Amino acid sequence: MKWNPDSVLNVLGQTSYIDDVAEPRDILQAVIVPSPSAHGRLLRIDTQAAGQKYPGAHFLTAADIPGENQIGNNLPDETLLVDGEWHFCGEPIALVLAPTRSEARRAAALVKLETEELEPVTDPRVAAERGLFILPPRTMRAGAVEKAYARCAHVIEGRVDSGGQEHLYLETQGAIAWPSESGGVRIVSSTQWPTGVQKASARILGVPMNRVEVETTRIGGGFGGKEDQATAWGCLAALGARVTGRPVKIYLNRHEDITYTGKRHPYSSDFKIGLDGEGRILAFEADYYQNSGGVCDLSPAVLARTLFHAVSAYYVPNVRVTGYMCRTNLVPFTAFRGFGAPQGIFVVEAALAKAAEKSGMPVLELQRRNLLKAGDTFHYGMPVEECRTDQSVSRVLENCKWEKLRKEIDSFNRQNRSKKRGAAMLPLCFGISFTKLLMNQTGALVHVYNDGSVTVSTGGVEMGQGLGRKIAIIAAKSLGIPVEWIRVESTRTVTVANTFPTAASSGTDLNGMAAQLACAEIRKRLIAVAAGCHSEAKAGSAAPGLVDYNICDGEVTRSGKPIGLSWNELVARAHSERVDLSAHAFYSTPGLFYDDKLENGSPFAYHVYGAAVVTATADVLRGTFTIDEAYIVHDAGDPIDLLVDMGQTEGGFVQGLGWAVLEDLRFDDEGRLQANTLSTYKVPDIHFVPGMNVEFLTNVPNPKAVLNSKAIGEPPLMYAIAGYFAVLDALKAARPDVEGFYDLPMTPEKALSFLTR
Ligand code: MTE
Ligand code: LUZ
Ligand code: MOS
């Protein structure tokens, strides 16, 4: 089968999401009463009037929580329902349940709140001045920056800002919970992390984890927005179901989802970069003021990834980078594809752009001169291996015919006054693994049914990224049967337990490897049956000749020749010989270690490399622009499914372009999101997408991951940073006298303000 069957269902609109689950007759629909402002204190809730008007409605508050009113995973700073102070606009204060959603909404609108307003903080630098931090700052160092500046020909400082980003998954947040006879609940949740929903719900209900079952069939996109941010909705449904004894569904509409839920972290940063006369970076320093939002959520992990990617694909001998998790009164900023790395990479690229401006050296030369190579060491102490920066950059410059392109652009710009073109290159180096060591583990459970069909369950969640397809291919290859015979099951906490989110691009690396191990175990048993010696094999003494047996395309072979025993016959024989046709396997990434005190170690299994060139044309009278072409050369290892990896590369890039030049996540000074609908928050559409020229490096097997593949979910997003600099390059052709400014996204509005400076 050429196409990913999941993609076919998606395209035909046949996939089933939370809102497609058939609703039982007695179901209650839930909505929240949101906090009315960004910062305040709840003094009293009055549901009397609402209850009189809607006698069928239920009103749940913090007092109705049977367990602990706490869902914070990294820090206990996040209540499920406000009890005292609230920290952002749209925080759940009460849960209202009614037979229909519109009734619940009308009842919620009648709930009266007695409150006290507190001053909101929205700017991370203001929060830092006031000492409002989630956790103490974190610093990574290499060499000695101060000494290095003495040897620099150019020392440049500057400020860089980058905005947040709304995930805009197609399926909004939601969950359905059924009370179960065990005193717990069964939850169907649109989450990247079923175990997270399970654990938090158990805490809320005050029951052990074994009373809470969570199932996720697939989600309509997550992009990081359902790594931790799906948990609250699962818990609210669970609470409603437990208290009322009826099934409860909560499903946000788009406006609610955009307003209430976390997004990519905005950052404001200061940098200092020092270069010698040849353009080699000798020192780099940065202070990142991360706007962490109202609660901790994943902010520490996101910040860690910023620090790990502070000098991106460059070698810098002397580094000092510090991150501040600034507590503000905005939504809890959270995981979003790239997870802090795009924010960090934008800073060092801005520093290089400014260094080019000040030193007169072309930025491309500065970039190339400083590329990482094998034998270098990352600033966190990990040796650089299998480095493909140079190879990718050379190849992408070839593909876009850089010299010719530059000449064409220059002559276009000489001939045109109102339109200018620009281009920029970006090298990529992205570390793969959760930076929190413990998260790099998962399991798989494989059943071969006695008719020969196979199901594979893992801890991984399908969110459109093709994980299910990749797992099916891995299982088919390891069992030696056609991929059509494999079914990948929904993700359930009773099938594979104690998992972590499907995130950090490592879904296939982890779950694919676990599935492969489980399949290998079953295959070993079946081969023993084929060789007529399964009991000996069980006893551990491999019978002679066992190695000659194989399973290929659903047929048993011996020394490469079919022996007239099909997969189905083999499975039936094994079953009649009472051989276990199921296997569980566990996988944890080997070789990872990190010393948090020394900020030193090998936190990543490997790195993903690549390079992009992006071109743009700006209307320098209006500030409008188009992104014209994108050339990407990417290291995808040996792709498990080429089409899936192509889709991830193009999709990730376009999503990144939205962040870089389009999506303006604007809050007012009171901490209210102004861009809270699709008419005020503009995302890329098909007309916005540039010509895409994607090439994968060939003959680059990656022995560190399953079937020599490479993680692909997040890295391509960062190529879009070249889009920002391509537009800036075009603008500078009109205004070479204006200093570059680094305030992402480069919206037409900002472009115009640059042009009219
Ligand atoms: N692709 C689609 N279609 N939908 C998604 O939600 N999430 C991205 C990426 N690609 C996402 C996606 C993010 S943020 C991550 S971390 C990875 O997929 C997660 O899946 P993987 O680890 O299996 O690649
Ligand atoms: N999530 C997480 C991630 O918890 N830890 C990570 O390191 C990470 N990296 C990328 C995306 N999500
Ligand atoms: Mo992706 S941000 O790791 O869910």
Helices and strands of the chain, counted as H and E runs: 21, 30
Instruction: Label residue 740 by pLDDT band (50, 70, 90).
Output: confident
Give the distance (Å) from ligand 1 centre to CA of residue 646: 13
Instruction: Label residue 536 by pLDDT band (50, 70, 90).
Output: low
* Cα–Cα distance measured from residue 428 to residue 410, given in angstroms and rounded to the nearest whole number: 26
Other Cβ atoms closer than 10 A to 483: 15
Q: What are the tens digits of pLDDT across the range 179-195? A: 999 999 999 999 999 99
Give the distance (Å) from ligand 2 centre to CA of residue 439: 9
State the pLDDT at residue 533: 75
Say whether 32 sits in a helix, a strand or coil.
Answer: strand
Other Cβ atoms closer than 10 A to 708: 14
Q: What are the tens digits of pLDDT across the range 694-719? A: 999 999 999 999 999 999 999 999 99
- The DSSP string of 649-674 is HHHHHHHHHHHHHT----B-TTS-BS
Half-sphere exposure of 289 (CA within 13 A, CB side): 21
Mutational test site, ligand 3, from 166, 333, 337, max ligand atoms within 8 Å of CB? 337
Q: What are the tens digits of pLDDT across the range 273-319? A: 999 999 999 999 999 999 999 999 999 999 999 999 999 999 999 99
pTM greater than 0.95: yes
Say whether 693 sits in a helix, a strand or coil.
Answer: strand
Strand 624-634 and strand 691-696: pairing? parallel
* Cα–Cα distance measured from residue 718 to residue 649, given in angstroms and rounded to the nearest whole number: 10
Q: What are the tens digits of pLDDT across the range 207-249? A: 999 999 999 999 999 999 999 999 999 999 999 999 999 999 9
| Ligand closest to the CA atom of residue 509 | 1
Closest CA to 189 of 218, 221, 223: 218
* Cα–Cα distance measured from residue 426 to residue 345, given in angstroms and rounded to the nearest whole number: 10
* Cα–Cα distance measured from residue 586 to residue 573, given in angstroms and rounded to the nearest whole number: 27
What the block records as the tokens of 474 is 């891995």
Residue 227 CA: nearest ligand 3 atom is 4
- CA 323 distance to own-chain centroid: 20
Q: What are the tens digits of pLDDT across the range 549-587? A: 999 999 999 999 999 999 999 999 999 999 999 999 999
Give the distance (Å) from ligand 3 centre to CA of residue 219: 14
Ligand 2 lining (C-beta closer than 6 Å): 298, 301, 305, 335, 339, 434-436, 439, 503-504
State the pLDDT at residue 423: 98
Residue 221 CA: nearest ligand 1 atom is 6
**Cis peptide before 745, with omega less than 30 degrees from 0?**
yes
Residue 508 CA: nearest ligand 1 atom is 23
Query: Residue of the nearest CA to atom 12 in ligand 1?
Result: 465
Mutational test site, ligand 1, from 166, 173, 218, 505, max ligand atoms within 8 Å of CB? 505
Give the distance (Å) from ligand 1 centre to CA of residue 505: 6
Give the distance (Å) from ligand 1 centre to CA of residue 504: 8
Query: Residue of the nearest CA to atom 9 in ligand 2?
Result: 504
Instruction: Label residue 599 by pLDDT band (50, 70, 90).
Output: very high
User: What does each C-alpha distance from 741 to 153, 342, 612, 729, 755 come to in angstroms?
Assistant: 22, 17, 21, 11, 11
Strand 486-488 and strand 454-458: pairing? parallel
Say whether 97 sits in a helix, a strand or coil.
Answer: strand
State the pLDDT at residue 94: 98
Backbone angles phi, psi at 394, to 5 degrees: -60, -45
Closest CA to 45 of 108, 119, 91: 108
* Cα–Cα distance measured from residue 602 to residue 623, given in angstroms and rounded to the nearest whole number: 45
User: What burial class does residue 568 get, using C-beta atoms within 10 Å of its C-beta: 0-12 exposed, 13-18 middle, 19+ buried?
Assistant: middle
Instruction: Label residue 545 by pLDDT band (50, 70, 90).
Output: confident
Query: Residue of the nearest CA to atom 5 in ligand 2?
Result: 434
Give the distance (Å) from ligand 2 centre to CA of residue 244: 36
- Name the helix (H) or strand (E) containing 422: strand 419-432
* Cα–Cα distance measured from residue 188 to residue 190, given in angstroms and rounded to the nearest whole number: 7
Closest CA to 530 of 486, 482, 582, 579: 579
| Ligand closest to the CA atom of residue 300 | 2
State which amino acid sits at residue 113. Answer: L
Ligand 3 lining (C-beta closer than 6 Å): 192, 222, 224, 227, 335-337, 339, 503-504, 714
Work out the angle at residue 689's Cα, subtended by the Cα atoms of residues 688 and 693, and round it to the nearest 5 degrees.
155
593-607 exposure pattern, b = at least 16 Cβ within 10 A, e = fewer: ebeeeebbebbbbbb
pLDDT at residue 1 is higher than 80? no
* Cα–Cα distance measured from residue 497 to residue 445, given in angstroms and rounded to the nearest whole number: 10
Active site positions, annotated:
714
Per the DSSP assignment, residues forming a β-bridge with 143 are none
State the pLDDT at residue 542: 54
Residue 505 CA: nearest ligand 1 atom is 22
Q: What are the tens digits of pLDDT across the range 44-88? A: 999 999 999 999 999 999 999 999 999 999 999 999 999 999 999
Say whether 199 sits in a helix, a strand or coil.
Answer: helix
pLDDT at residue 539 is higher than 70? no
Backbone angles phi, psi at 232, to 5 degrees: -55, -40
- The DSSP string of 453-495 is -EEEEES---SSSSHHHHHHHHHHHHHTS-GGGEEEPPEETTT
pLDDT at residue 24 is higher than 60? yes
Which strands form 212-216's sheet, in the order they lie side by side? 58-60, 92-98, 28-34, 248-251, 174-179, 185-189, 212-216, 491-492
State the pLDDT at residue 474: 98
